Amino acid sequence: QAELLRVKNLVRRYELRSGLFSRQQRYIHAVDGVSFSLNRAETLGIVGESGCGKTTLSRAMLRLVEPDEGEIIFRGRDIRSLTKEELRRERRHMQIVFQDPFGSFNPRMTVRELIDEPLSVHSRDSAAARLERVREVMAKVGLDPRLCDRHPHEFSGGQRQRIGIARALVLRPELIIGDEPVSALDVSIRAQILNLMKQLQEESGASFVMVSHDLGAIRFICHRVAVMYLGRVVEEGRTEDVFREPLHPYTRGLIDAVPVPRLRPGKTRQLLTGEIPSPVNPPRGCHFHPRCPLALKQCNSVAPAFNEVGGGRRVACHLFAPTGGIDTPAPVPVE
């Protein structure tokens, strides 16, 4: 499969001052050395609790916030090295669907103007051809094209998210990032929008990065999943593998926190305890060690490397020895 996106050691810090007149600088490492890749026509989920850095990561991938370090290789070019004009042109291939599209819409614009806006910026098509495309994409996302001259406030929450998706799709981008695209919606509408996104991804062949704290949504849509904790990816693998057999103790706690009607015989739960530590002063070594029921002696001083452990999976945990290859079988607990 051809690779569309490769993110290498991405870092984004936010500067904090400890007091109004203090000269002491402190930083939140919102994204702290994240690496992953995404193939064409593939969907990657980025999951974690709020504050883990996933929203900053989604914006940094598009340079909506500027990363401090690292590379973002998109369609073979590092988009961090692009000039403003080159980046503007490249943006037609990468679009984002926000959690609350209403908040990002200009309320004075009609739906037609909102969906047409990216086209009018990036394409040289005539107004008639663009209107045709707006109608086509509205129908594709399940909106009646005859309503294109209405304003977003005349639509329900689910319909507004369909408008947001139509706006992202209208340029036929190669990459779509969904930033918690269903978390503001009612449960029944959520399922409809997830079905729509899955169908559109399969039809369009675009690659998706879906950022969410909603494990069910990620499991439904994504081929692969990366789990984030305090700015770092701690586990990555095929979605079904990770959900069936989570390796990192944090992933296990996250998955075990989802209520299930009946536990499988012999299966126990390992629930997360304690608060997420402050990202201003994250714990040394493995960031998860104060909450980890399996912590080893070295965990509070040595940060685990993010290693291949077999079966196309990567884990950042001292319990798992690297295999150095993806074909080797089960991970080996370290004594």
Binding site for ligand SF4 (CB under 6 A): 248-249, 286, 288-289, 292, 294-296, 299, 304, 317-319
Q: What would you report as the CA-atom Rg of the chain, rounded to the nearest whole angstrom? A: 21
Euclidean distance between CA atoms 314 and 264, whole angstroms: 26
Closer residue to ligand SF4, CB minimum distance, 16 or 330: 330
Closer residue to ligand SF4, CB minimum distance, 119 or 319: 319
Sign for the CA dihedral angle at 322, 323, 328, 329 comes to negative
Name the residue type at position 67. P
How many CB atoms are closer than 10 A to CB 83?
8
With H, G, I as helix, E, B as strand and everything else as coil, classify residue 88: helix
Q: How far is the CB of 304 from ligand SF4 (least distance, A)?
A: 4
Q: How far is the CB of 196 from ligand SF4 (least distance, A)?
A: 37
Q: How far is the CB of 269 from ligand SF4 (least distance, A)?
A: 17
Q: How far is the CB of 11 from ligand SF4 (least distance, A)?
A: 20
How many CB atoms are closer than 10 A to CB 219?
17
Q: How far is the CB of 228 from ligand SF4 (least distance, A)?
A: 14
Are 115 and 162 within 8 A, CB to CB? no
Euclidean distance between CA atoms 143 and 323, whole angstroms: 50
Sign for the CA dihedral angle at 95, 97, 100, 102 comes to positive
The number of angstroms, rounded, from the C-alpha of 106 to the middle of its chain's C-alpha atoms is: 25
Are 170 and 135 within 8 A, CB to CB? no
Closer residue to ligand SF4, CB minimum distance, 51 or 249: 249
Closer residue to ligand SF4, CB minimum distance, 164 or 331: 331
Tokens read off for 246:
């989570």
Closer residue to ligand SF4, CB minimum distance, 176 or 247: 247
Closer residue to ligand SF4, CB minimum distance, 127 or 334: 334
With H, G, I as helix, E, B as strand and everything else as coil, classify residue 160: helix
Sign for the CA dihedral angle at 66, 68, 72, 78 comes to positive
Q: How far is the CB of 152 from ligand SF4 (least distance, A)?
A: 44
Q: How far is the CB of 297 from ligand SF4 (least distance, A)?
A: 9
Closer residue to ligand SF4, CB minimum distance, 120 or 301: 301
